[in-house]
Amino acid sequence: MAGVLAGHHGAQTVRVDFRRAVPVGAPLQLTTTGDVTALTDGEGTLLASAAAATLDLTVPPAPSWAEAKTASEQALSSPHRPVGDCYGCGAACAPGQGLRLFPWGLPDREIMASAWTPDPGLAGETGELPPENVWAALDCPGGIAAWHYAKMARGAVTAALTATQLRPVPAGAEYVSHAWLLGRDGRKHTVGVALSTADGELCALGEALWIEPRT
Element (H, E) at 181: strand 175-185
For CA atoms 181, 116, 211, 10, give the dihedral sign.
positive
Enter the pTM of the model: 0.93
Question: What is the DSSP secondary-structure string of 103-136?
Answer: -EE-SSSS-EEEEE---GGGS-TTSBPPHHHHHH
Contacts 24+ apart (CB under 8 A), 77-86: 78/104, 86/140
Distance CA 86, CA 48 (A): 20
Local confidence pLDDT in tens for the 215 residues of the chain: 889 999 989 899 999 999 998 888 888 999 999 999 999 998 899 999 999 999 999 999 999 999 999 999 999 988 766 568 899 999 889 999 999 999 999 999 999 999 999 999 999 999 999 999 999 999 999 999 999 999 999 889 999 999 999 999 999 999 999 999 999 999 999 999 999 999 999 999 999 999 999 87
